[in-house]
Every structure is written in structure tokens, then in C-alpha cells.
């Protein structure tokens, strides 16, 4: 009943029902996990983790508990422990693209970028349209300076989500790292237009930045283009920090 109430969004009633269920069966992993998710949503992370550890001890192969606990461990910066839970979840559900993606994220956070790329590839084999896996794959490739592959990966992501401003922005940054200044400027301009379309009350300001940048490009003066590109990139990065994180 508590699980059904949680699915229906009845938070207080769900918590009461789950607590009652746990009085009758303290090691009920599904009730422990759903109650932990409610605690985590309420900001009670330590309580949530304690409940999930109880679920894990009672049912080591219950993947929802492993995955939820892994997510909380990631948020606390305990990447190795998170990766262990995600790896077990993937072992139990080898056809899960989400599980492979979670393992990749933990490896990426540990600085093991090449290994992370392999797990992003596994996630993408299972779910070729997984945009977040493409984004993180590209970022991991960028960190180990495999820039051509990073560019190709971002372009794959953009073929699936052409209006996603952060993809154009990140592609522009990688192209600039690679030394492809003209393509980088074009990508940054597209990113700005996407932000302009999405930001509503800030549209006029972003539009002014884009018009200024495009007018500088038209003059084809490298001495003016570079600082204009840097200024636009700084503004877009600031907006992405507010909009996407």
C-alpha cells in the first residue's frame, strides 16, 4: 500500500503506510527503498542512506536500492563506493542502459576516463539515442584529449537534440580546444541563438550579444573576433550554470 501511495504522490500517507509495513517486516527491501527515496527528496540524506543500507543488507541483489544508494553516494563524493553499487546493479541487469551509464559516471568522477568511455559505449549500444550518455562520453574524451572523437560524439548528440543549447556550447568549446576557430565560433553563435529562444525575459539581452558577435564575425578581423568569442563564451557559460545544473 505504501508503495502504491508513493506512486500516486500521497507522501504523508505513503510514509505512514511504509513505516507500518516495516514494523511488521523490518527487512522489507522495497519499503525501505521507497521510504529512503522520500527521505532523500525531503533532504534527509543520512536517514535515506541508513534505510538503503538496511535494504542492501537484507537483499543484496535488489537493484533499486543499489541504484538509489549509489546516487546518494555520488552526491556525497564517495565515487568508489557508488561505483561498486552501480557495477553490481549492472551485473544483475546487464541489459540496462541506465546501469551502464551510472557505472560510467562513477568512473568518470574517479578520473578513469578511458574506462568511463567504454561504459558509455555500452549504454549507447543498449540505447543509441541516450543523449546524456553522448554528452558525458564527449566530456570524458575531451578530458583525455581525444578531441576528434569528442567532436564526433557531440555532433551525434546534436543530431538527436538540435535545439539543446548546452550541446552547441560544449561543442564550441571543444572545437576551440582543437584549434578549429571558425567552426567554434559558428557553434557558439548557434548556442547563443538556442539560449535566446529558451530564456524568455532574457531574450533581448542574449539577442544583443548574438547580434554583436555576428557583426564582429562579418568584419573578419581576427583581432576583434577572438575577444568577442571569449566574451560570448563567458556569458553563455554563466547562463548554462544557471540553466542546466
| Tens of pLDDT, residues 8-33 | 343 556 677 777 777 777 788 988 99
Residue 43 has pLDDT above 80, yes or no: yes
| pLDDT for res 112 | 97
**In this structure, are residues 104 and 135 in contact, taking their beta carbons and an 8 Å threshold?**
no
Confidence label for 214 from pLDDT (cuts 50, 70 and 90)? low
For residue 60, give the DSSP letter.
T
Is pLDDT at 162 greater than 50 in this prediction?
Answer: yes
**Within 13 A of 219's CA, how many CA atoms are on the CB side?**
12
Reported as a pLDDT band with limits 50, 70 and 90, residue 205 is low
Q: What is the DSSP letter of 8?
A: T
Looking at residues 127-140, what average pLDDT do you find?
Answer: 96
Contacts of 84 (CB under 8 A, 6+ apart): none
pLDDT at 191: 73
User: How far is it, in rounded angstroms, from Cα 144 to Cα 146?
Assistant: 6
Confidence grade of residue 245 (pLDDT, cut at 50, 70, 90): very low
Amino acid at each position: 500500500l505504501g508503495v502504491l501511495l508513493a506512486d500516486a504522490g500521497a507522501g504523508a500517507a505513503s510514509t505512514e503506510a511504509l513505516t507500518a509495513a516495516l514494523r511488521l517486516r523490518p527487512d522489507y527491501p522495497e519499503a525501505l527503498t521507497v521510504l529512503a527515496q522520500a527521505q532523500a527528496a525531503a533532504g534527509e540524506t543520512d536517514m535515506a542512506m541508513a534505510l538503503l543500507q538496511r535494504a542492501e543488507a537484507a537483499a543484496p541483489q535488489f537493484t533499486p536500492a543499489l541504484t538509489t544508494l549509489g546516487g546518494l553516494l555520488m552526491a556525497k563524493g564517495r565515487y568508489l563506493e557508488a561505483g561498486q553499487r552501480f557495477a553490481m546493479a549492472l551485473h544483475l541487469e546487464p541489459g540496462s542502459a541506465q546501469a551502464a551509464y551510472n557505472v560510467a559516471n562513477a568512473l568518470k568522477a574517479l578520473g578513469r576516463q578511458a574506462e568511463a568511455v567504454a561504459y558509455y559505449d555500452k549504454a549507447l549500444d543498449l540505447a543509441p539515442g541516450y543523449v546524456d550518455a553522448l554528452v558525458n562520453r564527449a566530456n570524458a574524451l575531451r578530458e583525455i584529449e581525444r578531441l576528434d572523437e569528442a567532436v564526433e560524439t557531440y555532433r551525434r548528440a546534436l543530431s538527436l537534440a538540435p535545439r539543446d543549447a548546452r550541446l552547441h556550447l560544449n561543442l564550441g568549446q571543444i572545437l576551440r580546444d582543437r584549434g578549429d576557430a571558425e567552426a567554434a565560433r559558428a557553434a557558439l553563435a548557434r548556442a547563443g541563438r538556442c539560449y535566446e529562444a529558451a530564456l524568455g525575459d532574457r531574450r533581448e539581452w542574449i539577442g544583443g550579444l548574438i547580434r554583436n558577435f555576428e557583426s564582429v564575425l562579418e568584419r573578419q578581423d581576427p583581432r576583434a573576433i577572438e575577444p568577442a568569442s571569449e566574451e560570448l563564451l563567458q556569458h553563455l557559460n554563466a547562463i548554462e550554470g544557471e540553466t542546466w545544473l
